[in-house]
Structure 1
Amino acid sequence: MRDVLSLGRKDSWEGVHAVVAGFGASGFAAADNLTHLGASVTVLADNATAAQLEKAQLLEILGATVRLHAGATGALPDDVDVLVTSPGFRPDAPLLAQARGRGVPVWGEAELAWRLRDPDHPAPWLCITGTNGKTTTVQMLESILRAAGLRCVAAGNVGLPLTEAVMDPEPYDVLAVELSSFQLHYVDTMAAESAAVLNFAGDHLDWDGGETAMEDYAADKGRIYQGVERACVYNVADPTTERLVRDADVVEGARAIGFTLGIPSVGMVGVVEDLLVDRAFVEERQTSAAELCAIADLASPAPHFVANALAAAALALAHGVSRSAVREGLRTFVPDGHRIAVVRERDDITWVDDSKATNPHAAQSSLLAYEPVVWVAGGLAKGATFDELVQQVKDRLRAVVLIGKDRAIIADALARHAPDVPVIEVTAGETGSVDGADLMGRVVGAAAQVARPGDTVLLAPGCASMDQFTDYAARGDAFAAAVRALT
């Protein structure tokens, strides 16, 4: 087995046998670039779409081997030197267990990309993780950095695969990097210039598994702070994020920067009246704060959206971006669809699509932004519970409309903590109709029956969507279409 731990972008990878597990966007990018560097590449995937089959043919023309239906449970080749794994592979997957048992290095795409940076132009990484808000925050950060005139891109768990970003012939000035706990689980040498953990709540515990699932999940999130050079950004309202900063081994001189929806203390960014302000990167921070932008400049005044903006601003300011660029980047930022998107306002009832709220923590953030609420929830709970969520939001619930495989988990929490809130269950079999139109038509109809003037009907499912829809976007599209048909 060849030693690959010292290999980088400008080294010869000839004679290295790299196995890539998984064939999504990051898997293809890893296989393509390793082949380009001269490695012998074998891709193992459980299945492939039509588009992926075309990419498989391209890789095979380039000299790679692609084996479908040989993914997580397949056999690891005897002569493998390194295994690059997709985030979708659980740590206990047989393929990964074989690699660990034989002493084969296991890297995620983030670790591979870090090792493949151009040593002459190593663009710094500004990294973001958290249970919720990662994509919105990294896209806000990208908008700010571009407003500052920097060549940058959102990469990682959103946007461009990291290996493509670092191998671009025209180097980026800086990368805005979203990392999930899955990706962080497999990093080793990666060290961000600055990093943020936005929040921490149980999610994907079915992936981590075991009695220590929450501790393991926190440890994976905390890896983002290891080796940070400039700033560790944390959520003042979430003690776990501050603990992760305290536990991190960082470069001497790195600062801890908190973000808060309240008035910031010295070394923080926060909110004063209706303004986002900086009290961390100004010379007079002991006695004053500098304005970044107004809440009215943002696409949404929802508390979690404001918190995301503060975290993005802190990372950008730590990189040296001006406050005027922060304001311009935040002012011009438009969030992706299915994230607190107002579908329609009619008869003094507001219909909001937050289908991207796929866990209880994200749903709670949405629910706390509106009152009173007819809440549309349910789907695949991924091992999560809803008692804490219901306790926090019960006083603002007009009614709840439940769908999906795990709707009983939410119904039971409502029965325990909000027994007076009306609950309507809408069933359509576990696959619904082809596009979910029939299911969502009845959901929206049920919500319309109980909504009153001044209410918000909020699709914030708190669950994944794959039991009844292709993905959260398809679920949101079906909801929006049903709302427009009704109203």
Structure 2
Amino acid sequence: MGSQEVSTVDWQGKHVTVAGLGVSGIPAARALHERGALVTVVNDGDDERARAQAAELEALGITVRLGDGATLPPSTELIVTAPGWQPDKPLFLAAAEAGVDIWGDVELAWRLRGDNGKKAAPWLAVTGTNGKTTTVRMLASILEAAGLRTAAVGNIGVSLLDAVLGDQEYDVLAVELSSYQLHWAPSLRAHSAAVLNLAPDHLDWHGSMEAYAADKGRVYEGNTVACVYNAADPATENLVREADVEEGCRAIGFTLGAPGPSQLGVVDGILVDRAFVKNRQKQAQELAEVSDVNPPAPHNIANALAAAALARAFGVEPAAVRDGLRNFRPDAHRIEHVADIDGVAYVDDSKATNTHATEASLAAYDSIVWIAGGLAKGATFDELVTGAAKRLRGVVLMGADRALIHEALTRHAPEVPVVDLDRTDTGAMSEAVEHAARLARPGDTVLLAPACASMDMFTNYNKRGEAFADAVRARAETSA
């Protein structure tokens, strides 16, 4: 199916099983029911919240089966699953045995776009291990600066189904896609797409790094204009080489160095385009200054270049790239400057929940007191510590798996002072900030970049970042 074609499905009387209540399952069940499908929702959980959600759907005439997400309902012709459900679940094994197709919420949104009579907006898609949300929001800001009707949707928290079926008409959508979502989206065909980077993540779900990379690479399938890859990450370029794209679709690289032909890069503090110009062998187009990127950390400049490449692939003028980057404000807890106290900067990057994200965060500063630790999710830290050792003034560790980081520091940075907080309560953050302040010197950065998940101590990374910011502000008040 070409990327501009709209799929038509006769839903009337079709038996569809929706796997999972929640952000994607409920809108999927409603949308299918409205189109005449006979919908059964299955859900593993049977708690108070699930029962309340089930009651709302049952009032519409939708069947809901709580506490049993493993059994394939009789007569099922299609499964629409929440993205987090693993491929080896008994429900899906039974579906495969019965020859029943499995779609994710992204696949359903792709199939239903244009279904309500609106023009189907093309998708500019972004995936990668880290940086997806920031890049998609940068892209949306650039598209808005170009006067286009757009929205940042997908894994970013705004339902794609709501976007494609709502009343708002869009010229183009900036779409964040996770590896889970791509796994269940076989017919997705984006206008252009980017894979920002690849590092081990979610391997328990995918089963192997190869399977994880293959699912990420699905974002390139059927692209019509541009496949954007990271020139510093050969794995992303390999995915482009393996993709089956529309004739005329181009491979476009981005680099923090001077760009070659068909690349975007950086020259003397300027973001430069040598891909979407008439003579890319001899010409380059200035897009923006590095100082227009907020914050101008190396990995965030890479995000900006990827967003600019997708926007340029869609025909956006250079001035809109500049204005969109200037207008962009990053989400909380992503290299967020909290305060300067006694010449020391305090930065919250609680969103750095894996080693790849933390590596990028540590690379943004010259002298760091690093606050780290939490749930390691099977990660190892030797490579991370080796790369950052020269930048570390000191380290403060907390959380359930802090010993793994401590051991890596002992092996690869034995001269760096380490404070090991034997605490996993939420109050540990205030003590961590106090210890970090004592280790820091004027000109240093105290950086919360945990390299771990937060759930051993906090509800989520947002709460962890808020605890850090609160502790920093309390210290600022006492030192004022």
Normalising to structure 1: TM-score of the pair? 0.93
Q: Distance in 1 between matches of 2:271 and 2:158?
A: 30
1:358 aligns to what? Answer: 353
Q: Distance in 2 between matches of 1:53 and 1:136?
A: 35
Contact conserved, 1:205 with 1:383, CA < 8 A, in 2?
A: no
Distance 1:51 1:316, change over 3 A: farther
Q: Distance in 2 between matches of 1:153 and 1:466?
A: 30
Contact conserved, 2:8 with 2:111, CA < 8 A, in 1?
A: no
Q: Distance in 1 between matches of 2:279 and 2:49?
A: 55
2:64 aligns to what? Answer: 66
Aligned counterpart in structure 1 of residue 430 of structure 2, from 441, 447, 455: 441
Q: Distance in 2 between matches of 1:9 and 1:224?
A: 18
Distance 1:476 1:175, change over 3 A: same
Q: Distance in 2 between matches of 1:50 and 1:473?
A: 25
Aligned residue pair count: 469
Structure 1: gaps (5+ residues): 1-7
1:78 aligns to what? Answer: 74
- The CA deviation at 1:55 is 4.0
1:338 aligns to what? Answer: 333
Matched to 1:478, the amino acid is A
418-427 vs 130-139, which moves further: 418-427
Q: Distance in 2 between matches of 1:91 and 1:446?
A: 44
Q: Distance in 2 between matches of 1:143 and 1:319?
A: 14
1:118 aligns with 2:107: no
Q: Distance in 2 between matches of 1:258 and 1:215?
A: 22
262-271 vs 59-68, which moves further: 59-68
Q: Distance in 1 between matches of 2:339 and 2:89?
A: 45
RMSD across aligned positions (CA)? 1.7
Q: Distance in 2 between matches of 1:334 and 1:196?
A: 21
Matched to 2:182, the amino acid is L
1:418 aligns to what? Answer: 413
Contact conserved, 1:47 with 1:69, CA < 8 A, in 2?
A: yes
1:21 aligns to what? Answer: 19
Q: Counterpart of 2:301 in 1: which secondary structure?
A: helix
Matched to 2:94, the amino acid is Q
Aligned counterpart in structure 1 of residue 201 of structure 2, from 200, 203, 219: 203
- The CA deviation at 1:34 is 1.1
Q: Deviations over 1:316-372 (max 9, x none)?
A: 000111111111111100011000001110101111000011110000000000121
Distance 1:70 1:426, change over 3 A: farther
Superposition pairs of residues 20-419 of structure 1, within 5 angstroms: 20-47=18-45, 54-71=52-69, 74-118=70-114, 121-209=119-207, 213-419=208-414
Aligned counterpart in structure 1 of residue 466 of structure 2, from 449, 466, 477: 477
Contact conserved, 1:23 with 1:48, CA < 8 A, in 2?
A: no
Contact conserved, 2:21 with 2:53, CA < 8 A, in 1?
A: no
Matched to 1:318, the amino acid is A
Distance 1:386 1:173, change over 3 A: same
Q: Distance in 1 between matches of 2:462 and 2:87?
A: 28
Q: Deviations over 1:369-402 (max 9, x none)?
A: 0121111111122222222111111110111112
Q: Counterpart of 1:25 in 2: which secondary structure?
A: coil
Contact conserved, 1:205 with 1:382, CA < 8 A, in 2?
A: no
- The CA deviation at 1:239 is 0.6
- The CA deviation at 1:300 is 1.1
Contact conserved, 1:206 with 1:382, CA < 8 A, in 2?
A: no
Query: Percent of aligned positions with the same letter in both sequences?
Result: 59
Q: Distance in 2 between matches of 1:180 and 1:151?
A: 24
- The CA deviation at 1:423 is 2.0
Structure 2: gaps (5+ residues): 1-5
- The CA deviation at 1:47 is 3.2
